[in-house]
Structure 1
Amino acid sequence: MLKRLLVVAGVIIGLVVVFLLFITIAEYRPQDQENAIVIKDGQSVSENVSSLSLVTWNIGYAGLDKDTDFVLDGGTMGCPRSQEAVEEAMSGISDTLAMLNSDVYILQEVDRSSSRTGKIDEADRISSLFSDHDAYFAPNYKALIVPFPLSDPIGKVDSGILTLSEYNTDTAVRWQLPGYYDWPVRTIHLKRCALETRIPSTTPGIDWVILNVHLTAYGDGSMRVEQLAFLKEMMNKYYNEGHYVIIGGDWNSLFPGVTKEQFGSYTTVEENLGWLQAIPDSWTPEGWQWAFDMDVPTCRTLDDSFVPGENLVCLIDGFLVSPNVSIDRVIGHNIGFEHSDHNPVSMEVSIK
């Protein structure tokens, strides 16, 4: 009996060792700076521009609609409810993006070949909606297998951030953001990044520099501090060179002046809100301007499916622009978290 137990234990240990070796060898290891992936070289306009309209939206990989929860946020689900639900969400996301009719789209959590979304290429589908937009993709989550949760494993993941531009872009670069989890978690976890694109402005030698970001949501907050420091150095450098700088995306942090109670009471337990931290007031450089709609929440918690008044809703998606840019309009679009756990935000800007 003891011998049989030792054999079984040896087999289990051996399988665990083989699995850990496999995910370590297969780990996605991006360079600090890489060219972005060209999804589509569209019929974009080669024009120097003095104003832009932009949309930022975390589309939740078309797998986090209003009837879904997520295991890492206090729920139980690792994958979407069904492939039919994914297709329905993609249809709603596509319709919303087309309705918003923007020069530039800054999107997060876009799957390309992930088990959880039936391996559909969401980047390609979205790009095909806009024949006159170039499309660039930067992966931030690549793993051959994510075995968590055991009851509903996520499986293979190929996901990232996507920027579409109606104007010809001179640069499309993936910048690796600092901060990694410890081994072995890091082998199957996100590698956060910023996607930089550039559009020529009407000022000779000066560009619109657009940074698409999705900061970390988990951990003790130290990685987010590192990432904010990295972004601050980058955006100040570009601004000091004279460029018009826009950072847009999912900051996974409350904006200055925003509180958890911004939109009223909620029943989400505090232990599921440890990820929701505020951007320090002192972090924002002098003259830089935040752009978000104080009246419309952009994110809801995923501890349960969405019920107004129960899930906490908050403001973590929006833009930060340099002092030489005028914010002409900002609108949060409240679509009730129907197709994603986030709502989109649109903005219009011009050169001061």
Structure 2
Amino acid sequence: MIAEKSAMIDAGGIPMKKFIKIILGIVIAIIVVFGGYLIYLFASYDRLPDNLTLKPHNQHNEVLETNKTYRAMSHNIGYGAYPPSYSFFMDGGKYSRAYDKKTVEENMQGIVNTTKDVAPTLAFYQEVDQSGDRSQHVDEVAWLKEHLPTYNSLYGQNYDSSYLFYPFTDPIGQAKSGLVTLSHAEITSSKRYSLPIETNFNKFFDLDRAFTVSRIPVKGNHELIAINTHLSAFTKDRSVQAAQLKKIFDVMETEYQKGNYVMVAGDYNHDVLGNSPEVFNTSKKRETWTHPFPKDQLPAGFHLPNGNLAEEKIPSARALNEPYKKGHTYTTLIDGFLLSDNIQVKDLHVKDMAFQYSDHNPVYLDFSLK
């Protein structure tokens, strides 16, 4: 009788052997599901080919001129998901997706209004979702084209990710996202170049990277080479970031040697001031995306203009570990322009939007072609 009782467990009187089988079945099911998901991730992973020709959409064929002032703007729009109250799980925050579709649409309209206020000749946007669970499936590429109809446009895909089932309680899901370049001048041709990325499992976290190269005619038989990019943020392998920069530098140098004007705009995930923690009075350690930009490695004939940005003390990006609190949240300056020295800088500013529509403020540049 005692032996018979010992073969039972108190909770519900389930026989011990049956209980073990149930637990074992659950464990096997978890392993099968997890293994199947890993197979899905690797089987569905795909990168676009390098040196891919893109098709610009031109409304008009204006040509740029020398010795005339133009304006360029660069803005990482954070796929329309980041109002000041937002924090992001990969930064140690709370959320993985935009609150709702209305929030994304409000942020996108704010970004459009900001663009109209800045009134750039050239606008470079990063983290623009064509489709994504994280951005509530708002087509932001179409949104920019529709609400800024006076611009010629180009879209270059960064990545088309598999469904990412993390965090487990609210997965970030699938996203198709990239780079949008708008121009009042004609874009005659464009290409997308793949950037080096980590090839281990981290490629599913930092996703694919690329840069687009747009050719814009300048009177006098030359071209402005307008490059739009967004470098890796969460990789801890700094050699990957170095390789990404080198590939862009090589294209810059080749085009400059042809006599062209070269402008690179984007989110470099590098401190473009070099001393942003000091400028923005933060004692926090540098994040992986805030190492100083290696200005000494720029090709001959290029520079990274800073103007009075250090004196103005307006950051271009904030950390997403918490809702934005001015004077408390970690801020830095990681967005800007790389220019060939045949482009003259007239003015350079960060527009202080207090991170109202994105985790980035736009940077804008007044320039002329010599």
- 1:301 counterpart (290, 305, 319): 319
Which residue pairs with 1:22 in the alignment?
Answer: 40
Query: 1:159 Cα deviation (Å)?
Result: 1.0
- 2:235 counterpart (219, 232, 240): 219
Query: Which structure is larger by alpha-carbon Rg, 1 or 2?
Result: 2
Equivalent-residue separation in structure 1 for 2:348 and 2:73 (angstroms): 10
**Which stretch of the first structure deviates more once superposed, 24-33 or 306-315?**
24-33
For residue 248 of structure 1, give the secondary structure of its aligned residue in structure 2: strand
For residue 117 of structure 1, give the secondary structure of its aligned residue in structure 2: coil
Q: Does 1:262 align with 2:284?
A: no
Which residue pairs with 1:166 in the alignment?
Answer: 184
Q: Deviations over 1:86-121 (max 9, x none)?
A: 222112111111111111110001111111222111
For residue 34 of structure 2, give the secondary structure of its aligned residue in structure 1: helix
Q: Give the counterpart letter for 1:219 in structure 2.
A: T
Which residue pairs with 1:248 in the alignment?
Answer: 265
Equivalent-residue separation in structure 2 for 1:276 and 1:299 (angstroms): 10
Equivalences for residues 318-337 of structure 1 within 5 A = 318-337=336-355
User: Cα distance 1:313–1:23, how it changes in 2: closer, same or farther (>3 A)?
Assistant: same
Equivalent-residue separation in structure 1 for 2:270 and 2:194 (angstroms): 19
The answer (yes or no) to whether the contact 2:233–2:288 under 8 Å persists in 1 is no
Q: Give the counterpart letter for 2:298 in structure 1.
A: T
The answer (yes or no) to whether the contact 1:134–1:168 under 8 Å persists in 2 is yes
Query: 1:48 Cα deviation (Å)?
Result: 4.3
Query: 1:13 Cα deviation (Å)?
Result: 1.5
Q: Deviations over 1:308-349 (max 9, x none)?
A: 111111111110100111112212100111111111011122
Which residue pairs with 2:25 in the alignment?
Answer: 7
Percent of matched pairs sharing the same residue = 27
Which residue pairs with 2:302 in the alignment?
Answer: 288
User: Could you state the TM-score of these two structures normalised by the residue count of structure 1?
Assistant: 0.92
Q: Does 1:233 align with 2:250?
A: yes
For residue 261 of structure 1, give the secondary structure of its aligned residue in structure 2: helix
The answer (yes or no) to whether the contact 1:46–1:167 under 8 Å persists in 2 is yes
Which residue pairs with 2:59 in the alignment?
Answer: 43
Which residue pairs with 2:151 in the alignment?
Answer: 133
For residue 207 of structure 1, give the secondary structure of its aligned residue in structure 2: strand
Aligned residues: CA RMSD? 1.8
The answer (yes or no) to whether the contact 1:36–1:173 under 8 Å persists in 2 is yes
For residue 174 of structure 1, give the secondary structure of its aligned residue in structure 2: strand
Which residue pairs with 2:293 in the alignment?
Answer: 279
Query: 1:189 Cα deviation (Å)?
Result: 4.2
The unaligned stretches of length 5 or more in structure 1 are: none
Query: 1:23 Cα deviation (Å)?
Result: 1.9
Equivalences for residues 68-79 of structure 1 within 5 A = 68-79=86-97
Equivalent-residue separation in structure 2 for 1:218 and 1:265 (angstroms): 20
Which residue pairs with 1:153 in the alignment?
Answer: 171
Equivalent-residue separation in structure 1 for 2:199 and 2:168 (angstroms): 21
Q: Deviations over 1:248-279 (max 9, x none)?
A: 1111101154332212236xx53x72332111
Structure showing the higher strand proportion among its residues? 1
Query: 1:287 Cα deviation (Å)?
Result: 3.6
The answer (yes or no) to whether the contact 1:30–1:176 under 8 Å persists in 2 is yes
The answer (yes or no) to whether the contact 1:143–1:188 under 8 Å persists in 2 is no
The answer (yes or no) to whether the contact 1:49–1:202 under 8 Å persists in 2 is yes
Which residue pairs with 2:49 in the alignment?
Answer: 31
The answer (yes or no) to whether the contact 1:253–1:279 under 8 Å persists in 2 is yes
The number of equivalent residue pairs is 345
The answer (yes or no) to whether the contact 1:141–1:189 under 8 Å persists in 2 is no
The unaligned stretches of length 5 or more in structure 2 are: 1-18
The answer (yes or no) to whether the contact 1:180–1:191 under 8 Å persists in 2 is no
Query: 1:36 Cα deviation (Å)?
Result: 2.7
Equivalent-residue separation in structure 2 for 1:199 and 1:156 (angstroms): 34
Equivalent-residue separation in structure 2 for 1:216 and 1:37 (angstroms): 25
Q: Give the counterpart letter for 2:272 in structure 1.
A: F
Q: Does 1:108 align with 2:137?
A: no
Equivalent-residue separation in structure 2 for 1:276 and 1:101 (angstroms): 29
Query: 1:148 Cα deviation (Å)?
Result: 1.2
The answer (yes or no) to whether the contact 1:109–1:161 under 8 Å persists in 2 is yes
**Which stretch of the first structure deviates more once superposed, 49-58 or 192-201?**
49-58
The answer (yes or no) to whether the contact 1:66–1:305 under 8 Å persists in 2 is yes
Which residue pairs with 1:345 in the alignment?
Answer: 363
Query: 1:188 Cα deviation (Å)?
Result: 5.8
- 2:225 counterpart (205, 209, 212): 209
**Which stretch of the first structure deviates more once superposed, 2-11 or 21-30?**
2-11
Q: Deviations over 1:132-179 (max 9, x none)?
A: 322111111312311111122111211111101111111111110112
Q: Deviations over 1:14-38 (max 9, x none)?
A: 1112211222222131111112355
